[in-house]
Structure 1
Amino acid sequence: MKKIISILVIALTFTMTSNAQESMSKEEAVKTVSLEQTKGQFTQKKLTLSEGSYVFEISNNNVGSDVGFVLVQKGKDASKPENHIKTAYVTKVVNNNTKEKTNVTKLVKGEYIYFCPMNPTPQYTLTVK
């Protein structure tokens, strides 16, 4: 009976360790993309990324007002909020001379546009290969 209990404890420990390592590797796979806004524009005019999970860190570099971030699949009407990728919204508006992050956003192959509706900026291209 002691052998069976020992085997069960070892199996349970192995399973818990394996699950914890899997969770950690998923978290490590999230990459951060830093974007800077100045008055009326992003300093990064075009991005090329690989498929995966991303957090966008948006910097407000002395714009003089709050800024935000919108990401939309190319070809969809960016003026309609229902087409926005909601996880790519900053979690809080970006005050002057501060940074804020988005939630984790999974990107698949294709083209997207990004812009700030508050600053406002032109629409820029983000390509996922």
Structure 2
Amino acid sequence: MLSNPASANTVIELTQVPCQFLESEPTDHGFSANSADDCKDHNKRTGDSRAQQSQPLELKAGKYTFRVTNKNVPYPLGFWLRGEGVIGRATLPSVSGGGLATGTTLDYEITLEPGEYLYSCPLNPTPDYKLVVR
């Protein structure tokens, strides 16, 4: 678990490769994708089991910068962090954006409140990975 002082802004680095965030899964699956449709096919076969095998990211409430890198994905990506479920989406903070061209890194700033979140890239697409904030 990471901790952060209330006034600090902790940076969480995430790397996207085709169809996955490297830090979120125990294995780099080495997927190849030329489009989001390729990832949709991978996820139909492996997405649920991969999401179950991933360990939730656990953080304390506070200010964060999610620094997301597009590593070798040949199409533009994004990032979406939101509350889990209908109530979570309505009551918890969220952040999203696109424009992650191959080889670029973008920062997404957010102040997280206690609750359960999901993060993913709908443009890659990746499984929904869990984030728990205490």
Q: Same fold (TM over 0.5)?
A: yes
Higher-Rg member (1/2) = 1
Point out which structure has higher relative CO (alpha carbons under 8 A, 6+ apart): 2
Question: Which residue in 1 is equivalent to 2:105?
Answer: 99
**2:85 corresponds to 1:71:** no
Matching residue's letter, 2:62: G
Matching residue's letter, 1:96: T
Q: Which runs of 4+ in 1 moved over 2 A?
A: 82-86
Q: Is the 8 A contact 2:93 2:111 kept in 1?
A: no
TM-score between the two structures when normalised by the length of structure 2 = 0.64
SS across alignment from 1:44: helix
Question: Which residue in 1 is equivalent to 2:34?
Answer: none
Per mean C-alpha deviation after superposition, the further-off stretch among 43-52 and 107-116 is 43-52
Question: Which residue in 2 is equivalent to 1:39?
Answer: 18
Question: Which residue in 1 is equivalent to 2:118?
Answer: 113
Superposition deviation, residue 89 in structure 1: 2.0
TM-score between the two structures when normalised by the length of structure 1 = 0.66
Superposed CA offset, 1:67-124 (max 9, x none): 100011111289x9x88945x224x51110111111x311111110000011111100
- Higher-helix-fraction structure: 1
Q: Unaligned regions of 5+ residues in structure 1, if any?
A: 1-24
Q: Is the 8 A contact 1:71 1:84 kept in 2?
A: no
Matching residue's letter, 1:40: C
Q: What are the within-5 Å matches in structure 2 for residues 78-89 of structure 1?
A: 85-86=93-94, 88-89=95-96
CA distance in 1, matches of 2:92, 2:100: 18
SS across alignment from 1:113: strand
**2:60 corresponds to 1:60:** no
Superposition deviation, residue 62 in structure 1: 0.3
Q: Is the 8 A contact 1:70 1:84 kept in 2?
A: no
The 3 A distance-change label for structure 1 pair 84 and 97 is farther
Q: Unaligned regions of 5+ residues in structure 2, if any?
A: 25-55
